[in-house]
Structure 1
């Protein structure tokens, strides 16, 4: 007997339920144009758990609240974004040049927050660049705080192991100093050297609902790139204000090239496109 493929799609009402939940919890917008993305990502969890349909899975998670554990996976599936080492590399070049120009020596570590760090490529790129800088500037030290809402992405980041294609944009001389190859020659993966990785501290944090006062000290720079594009204008403005409060006077804010900054309160001055400095 031949079986026809099942047309297992979400109704408009169920798509709205999913979108409203993700907006409420994480501030991320999932409009009608994201319907296929929602279905594709949730279908993986539906099949893994043995639900007969997407609707059954969505009902169990959002209506019956089957488990807090599965709510985490549900949200995780819809908030994971693409990243890579040295993505928008000019940001890292600017940061290094700015530190050299304005902070030749300092008494405390240069603190950077990678807000929305995904699977760790951005904060490890920062660790590589700031480790290189420490070899050139006397008394320069750095600390990198990396946060994300996705527990699965953070698990990958903490392992610090990546496929070789992830490092295509990384200069060869920096690969030699900051990466380790597997002892098994048939394993193409690489690992961030422990000394470099030690500069990064990972933790789970929700940019919409998180407690920003939990950060005991202000940051010298914040990277929040290709994250706010998914937020509503209201949430983007709130996030801008919270970043301003989390930055030292004169601190830098880096956003993605596809984003614009909501800054109604004039907390920042633009240095170059996508790079801002907190006003004094």
Structure 2
């Protein structure tokens, strides 16, 4: 097994399920110590067990990324033990609705996790990376950050912010040896999708799954291991010449859907 991340420490938010879990296991299998931050401790511990079963090392931390005090305390406790080499801002939540169907409470909730959560983590971790003059930050944006998607007003707002925060951090810290990129997934088949269909289309799950799948020109949803593969690559030394970039991984959604 490739050990690209020997002696590296990876902090990943939302590592208890879906893309975050798969990426965490990939990092662990390639030699990294993975610090898993999540509100779902059952999921986080399951990820930890998967990593350890594969011979890797991991630790778990209960953390609401939208709460700056919690984030600062968790990051401080990690830094007491080890240097943070890589930060993956994966935690995020969704919302469906146009501006009329988006309450102030909805907007605040999305902002708190998707925007402020990303800000809180970078704010807490980057000073240490700057001190060591090295580090990688990888943020999860979305195709919704660059194209219009129906009924995704608040979600698109938040992911647009993630995209532009990525550009700003890449520009501001390039001389400090810190690389910052983001990826923009299209629809990916995760437990979130299954739960969404169960909640909103209990009688038409298969039909809606097919419709959502076909919205990608390639004809299907992405797989979590495909997204995790791009994440791991962009955080490796193989991608040392890449910073300030957004990588669509969407089955042609952005460029071919016309």
Decide: shared fold, TM above 0.5. Answer: no
Structure showing the higher helix proportion among its residues: 2
Higher relative contact order (CA 8 A, sep 6+): 2
Q: Which has the larger radius of gyration?
A: 1
Instruction: Give the structure-1-normalised TM-score.
Output: 0.27
> What is the TM-score when the length of structure 2 is the normalising length?
0.29
